[in-house]
A and B are shown apart, each in its own frame.
Chain A
Amino acid sequence: MAQWEAVIGLEIHVQLATQSKIFSAASTAFGAEPNTQACAVDLGLPGVLPVLNYEAVRMAVMFGLAVNAAVSQRCVFARKNYFYPDLPKGYQISQYELPIVARGQLEIALGDGSYKVIGITRAHLEEDAGKSLHEEFADSTGIDLNRAGTPLIEIVSEPDMRSAKEAVSYMKKIHSFVRYLGISDGNMQEGSFRCDANVSIRPAGQKELGTRTETKNLNSFRFVERAIDFEIARQIDVLEDGNEVVQETRLYDAVQDETRPMRSKEEADDYRYFPDPDLLPVVIRPEMLEEIKQQLPELPGEKALRFTQEYGLNAQDAENLVLSKEAAEYFEQTARNTNAEAKRVANWVTGELNAALNQDDLEIASSPVSSSMLAKLLNRIEDGTISGKIAKDIFRSMWAGEGDVDSIIESKGLRQITDTLEIETLVNQVVRENPAQVEQFKSGKDKVFGFFVGQVMKITGGKANPQQVNRLLREKLK
């Protein structure tokens, strides 16, 4: 049996966070009543003309600079012609021969400490189409043109990825970039960030590419991973059965967890691209480029490097933290307001906080435990008021809205017992009440020591300072 190698390229569509559409003044806000945010231009009425929203150009340039790409001095909008009811003009204004962003690249972490560079072929500006609503109406299709004309950048990668994991890690990196740059809300449920995955396989070692399929409109990292894994397995089956992979467009069905053909090549459109005569070529002057460069925010790579230098984090922790701009900010605010060491702060953010957010399906911005609350909690560990274990309980109480750390410590009496006399009394009591275990310990069974610690903790409800308990027990049992 041959060893197969998967070859994957992604086309990521990112909705830009402009106030108005790319070629009209209509609002881009999500969730309005159908067709209430579509003006004459979006409806493609006779005689209307597109006028470019330069904010979209600016955002695309920011992206280009962030991925070290060549930003074109002159780019041209082209018409992509095809008929579809939710495409009002019968063509989509996109870019074809002269896109705004040319060749760039991005480095992804492979999780084993190594890195890989993924090539970015190009990124171009285009308008989104409207939405067809097939479910709402019996025997007919509804058209909602609110989304028509929403600005997008389509980021096309080189076929540089070799596994679904790599593809997801590339997509996450792009996601974090657009969030850092503030050019997209990156909301995947609302379709602001979605991708098409081109997948082919070939025998390992072969240079020439296999026939690829394109799986459309994947709007979660999980779906991307599953759809690609499914496609790889399917194509291997097809080839090993002696058949050929058909070049086609496929759709991923999350319920069945499989991809299915959408349309085959026989029906492939000829888009008849040509430069849009209604729009002038966009000229990006060096001064404009320089100005945007000056205004670029700190990007994940730089931030991770700074975290290792400024906070002494290791590279892996720093990488994990900066994946989300909000998490990185949360970390930094917490670290600034606590005496606890940065490593501990990082562990709490990527550990307890992250787990709680995932469990309740919350964004960090709506976390019930703010960074200042977490900082205070960590301070209480640091000053010995509570143990790390109790801190986790208190975190859950704070998460549940039971108040801040000090009030919870007071109301639940969770203050750590550090009074040596008090602990000593308890140690004496435990040793006295368990003569059999004392015998065992003294005959060399070291493990029994844990039993005594547990007993003390049990009596104190976990509040006894563990270091002191240990020390006093050792002295007593010596």
Chain B
Amino acid sequence: MVMEELSVQQLADGLDSGQFSSVELVRHFLHRMQAHRHLNAFISELHDRAVMQAGHADRQIRERKHGPLTGVPLAHKDIFCMSGERTSCGSKMLDNFIAPYHATVVQKLEQAGCVVLGKTNMDEFAMGSSSENSYYGPVRNPWNAECVPGGSSGGSAAAVAARLVPLATGTDTGGSIRQPAAFCGVTGLKPTYGRISRYGMVAYASSLDQAGPFGKSAQDCAYLLQAMAGFDEKDSTSVDAPVPAYLAELNRPLQGKVVGIPDEYFSTGLGSEVRTIIARAIDWAEEQGCIIKDISLPNTELAIPAYYVIATAECSSNLSRYDGVRFGHRCEDPKDLHDLYHRSRSEGFGTEVKRRIMIGTYALSTGYYDAYYLKAQQVRRLISADFNAAFQDVDFILGPTAPETAFRIGEKTDDPVTMYLSDIYTISINLAGLPAISIPCGIHEGLPVGMQLIGNYFAEDKLLNFAHQYQLATDWHQQCPPGFQQKRQGC
């Protein structure tokens, strides 16, 4: 038995039947985490806490007071506040910040019995598409250490891909779950805006941020989503709608489902190998009895400019609280109040964060508000209208998650606009608030390719159902990056 290759269901069965204990499981993964530190996937490793939690989980299992996730190891993106632990958000600004409370997501997963092994590395304040913008250094892609894992949830994606942890949380503001899932060959779901509480999740762009699960498979993601989703009275934008039993929906037939293929997602800029691989996935869907339909999302090209106005405007305001007064980085010997603000923020934030704060501040300024912020909100409504129109006729929209496979570390750091374009297929989904999943569907030159499946509001169950059916028929999600398989004993 190779523990790190087990699905969540197999882990739950193994724990339930006493085949292994949570402590054994946790020690195994902690060992792998230590053995693969070169990936830089973690900002904090929580050894002692994890072993203690595992011991507690084992007691619950012995007393038969457990659920499906009791004792299952997990990592949190370091954007979720966790009581008593550092929550850095990948920033020097919060390097010294010990959260005094749990994020709702952390709380819910603790109640579900998950054991937190560590907090994963990320782009600073979730701003980036490569996980290079971290105060703690870049994360490396397990498939090729010279390549980025995608971002901003690159640490979570890399950790799951390298089998350092079976499950991880992430957040997605413009593609920060789906693009790293695609680059690392794992499954990642961005739920409908409001499906999961944002309370305790450090805010980047409040109207776009949404938490979601990473797993090796859609089924694993279903387990995690089940425990994360639901209304939270502490988050006014969380939606008070019933949470379906996701696992029960996984096995529905896809026969007769209409899959829309947006013309705009297959135009210039899409790598030809990625195109070919996605085409094979479309063929598969057709073989399952899906109806393939060409559709148009005409305002797609406006998504990136609109996003970089709205997200930066919100971030410029959200990040104002980091002023060196109450918590976080504070400069040495401030001369006066202005000096305290100026140096604390100059020293505490990295380049990309500063760039976005400046863009957003500009976009909200008197005289520019109408031309930028209001205009971007209008574009946002147009983009939503595109999707609403499309979902009158289709159940799913399918396309690539990213235009190409993982790029090399350093390749795009000097060219922010090229970097921004790597989110071209994911960003409009956040603007519309829709759910979407990235599923591994091929490998090109040793690097994974992901397809993105977009659903209507609160159609997470349908997305997981489609992805699970695809994964029953394919084994892309079972591919382990070379060098991370355990040497199999006795065979």
Contacts and interface: CB of A to CB of B under 8 A. Distances in A.
Interface in A242-295: 270, 272-274, 277-280
Interface in A29-83: 40, 43-52, 79, 81, 83
Interface in B75-100: 80-81, 87, 89, 94, 97, 99-100
A40 B326 CA distance: 11
A143 interface: yes
A272 B237 contact: no
Interface stretch (B1-9, B364-372, B410-418, B469-477): B364-372
A90 to B, nearest CB: 2
Contact of A280 (B199, B237, B313): B237
- List the 3 closest A-B pairs by CB distance, nearest first: A90-B320, A277-B207, A272-B364
Interface stretch (B228-236, B241-249, B279-287): B228-236
Contact of B317 (A51, A79, A143, A270): A79
Interface in A305-335: none
A397 B236 CA distance: 59
Interface string B357-386: 000010011100100010000000000000
B234 A90 contact: no
A280 B202 contact: no
6 contacts: A44-B326, A47-B80, A47-B199, A85-B323, A272-B361, A277-B206
A48 B320 contact: no
B321 A46 contact: yes
Contacts of A43: 326
B198 interface: yes
Contacts of B326: 43-44, 88, 143
Interface in B293-323: 313-314, 316-317, 319-321, 323
Contacts of B87: 46-47
A46 B97 contact: yes
Given A85-B337, A91-B317, A47 B81 contact: yes
Interface in A400-445: none
Most buried by A among B235, B320, B373: B320
A81 to B, nearest CB: 5
Given A45-B81, A79-B317, 17 more contacts: A44-B321, A45-B100, A46-B97, A46-B203, A47-B199, A49-B199, A51-B234, A81-B317, A81-B364, A83-B341, A85-B323, A90-B323, A143-B326, A272-B317, A272-B361, A278-B203, A279-B237
Interface in B150-188: none
A143 B366 contact: no
Nearest to B328: A46
B6 to A, nearest CB: 32
Interface of B: 80-81, 87, 89, 94, 97, 99-101, 103, 198-203, 205-207, 233-237, 313-314, 316-317, 319-321, 323, 325-327, 337, 341, 361, 364-366, 369, 373
B103 A47 contact: yes
Contacts of B205: 277
B478 to A, nearest CB: 35
Contacts, number: 97
A90 B317 CA distance: 7
A176 to B, nearest CB: 35
Contacts of A279: 236-237
Given A83-B320, A280-B237, A47 B369 contact: no
A40 B97 CA distance: 13
A89 interface: yes
Given A90-B320, A90-B323, A49 B364 contact: no
Contacts of A81: 316-317, 320, 364
B202 to A, nearest CB: 4
Given A90-B320, A143-B325, A272-B361, A49 B198 contact: yes
Contact of A277 (B89, B99, B202, B314): B314
Contact of A272 (B80, B103, B233, B365): B365
A46 B99 contact: yes
Given A47-B203, A48-B199, A272-B361, A85 B325 contact: yes
A190 B100 CA distance: 31
A91 B323 CA distance: 12
Nearest to A25: B234
Contact of A48 (B200, B233, B369): B200
A51 B319 CA distance: 19
A44 B203 CA distance: 11
A274 B207 CA distance: 12
Contact of B320 (A40, A89, A273): A89
Interface string A129-150: 0000000000000010000000
A133 to B, nearest CB: 14
Contacts of A40: 100-101
A52 B235 CA distance: 10
B105 to A, nearest CB: 10
A90 B318 CA distance: 8
Contacts of B198: 47, 49
A424 B227 CA distance: 100
A274 B236 contact: no
A91 B99 CA distance: 21
A42 to B, nearest CB: 11
Contacts of B341: 83
Nearest to A279: B236
B337 A52 contact: no
A40 to B, nearest CB: 6
Given A50-B236, A88-B326, A274 B369 contact: yes
A116 B309 CA distance: 48
Nearest to A143: B325
Contacts of A274: 313, 317, 364, 369, 373
Given A46-B87, A91-B320, A278 B237 contact: yes
Given A83-B323, A143-B325, A49 B94 contact: no
Contacts of A143: 325-326
